[in-house]
Homo-oligomer: A and B are copies of this chain.
């Protein structure tokens, strides 16, 4: 878990040996989750922050009428629920999607101590929360101003780009265990529209989607269709 977190933070933050040592001293508990199992629910007051070790997790909101809106997807290295270190009550839920979903739980106390002892760790975590905020902003743009096909292509592009840390993108795969229904709930469109939009993306976007796996065979095409510009993800290296 320490190396996973360190690697993720290192991507945008200058951590030194002492910081690494501090990270290594963090106590944590490993936890495996089933498909669709909640890590935290909206309204709860968790005592831990979460590092994704494997699989996929999602932040989501449940509406009055029971409908769900997914806010973001998260993969290895993502640090979740940082907000709960500062504001006790969760205004969104976190749940696992798919199998092999594993997290490490780190107590708020430990987190606070590490940030206090090594301010640069605090800044690194802060940067991560800023990137996540940036992803939220793009989701607003995407779900508000782009038509279903473009929207979906952009979403795929973001997932793929993040899964590969912005490197070696030309072609490849990434884990993508959502159902079409869930994808629709992320994009703010109905299942039927999701299905039809996907067929167009498959035909014109240089991607395919086998169960649990997104297959990109023409990255440039996907970028073009999705109007994807990764600047907002603030990874050190520009798109390759």
Contacts and interface: CB of A to CB of B under 8 A. Distances in A.
Nearest to A144: B188
A173 to B, nearest CB: 27
Contacts of A69: 140-141, 144-145
Dominant secondary structure at the A interface? helix
Nearest to A91: B232
A57 B179 CA distance: 39
Chain A interface: which size bin? 35 or more
Given A67-B145, A86-B123, A87-B234, A136 B140 contact: yes
Interface in A76-91: 82-83, 86-87, 89, 91
Nearest to A132: B133
Given A86-B126, A91-B231, A234-B87, A144 B141 contact: no
Contact of A83 (B82, B89, B133, B187): B133
A92 interface: yes
Given A61-B137, A137-B61, A232-B91, A86 B145 contact: no
Interface in A143-190: 143-146, 187-188
A63 interface: yes
A135 to B, nearest CB: 9
A1 B203 CA distance: 55
Contacts of A82: 130
Interface of A: 12, 43, 59, 61, 63-64, 67, 69, 71, 82-83, 86-87, 89, 91-92, 116, 119, 122-123, 126-127, 129-130, 132-134, 136-137, 139-141, 143-146, 187-188, 227, 231-232, 234
